[in-house]
Amino acid sequence: MSIQHFTDSNFKKEVLESKMPVLVDFWANWCGPCKMIAPIVDELAKEYSGKMKIGKVDVDGNSSVASKYGVMSIPTLIFFKEGKVMDQVSGALNKSTLKQKIEENL
């Protein structure tokens, strides 16, 4: 499965009610570090297809979800399981670090 796009309107259904763990990448088009990790997040979305749902929230267009979870800097990656926040990291991570975080949150 490729990367999904979560919005203020589908966040509850796609993330909070998901039967699978979910990784949400809070990002924006103008954010340099967000662009740096985007290919890594896309790659891992394919690699973990069927094990973890991985998607993005554009903070400029979906500010209520971002503010609800206290996203102050981007990129911020939040791991959800059964509707609850399990872990959170900010900043551009390399692939091995992000992969380790995914494994910890499966």
Pairing status of strand 76-81 against strand 22-27: antiparallel
As annotated, the active-site residues are 31, 34
Structure tokens at 7: 């919005």
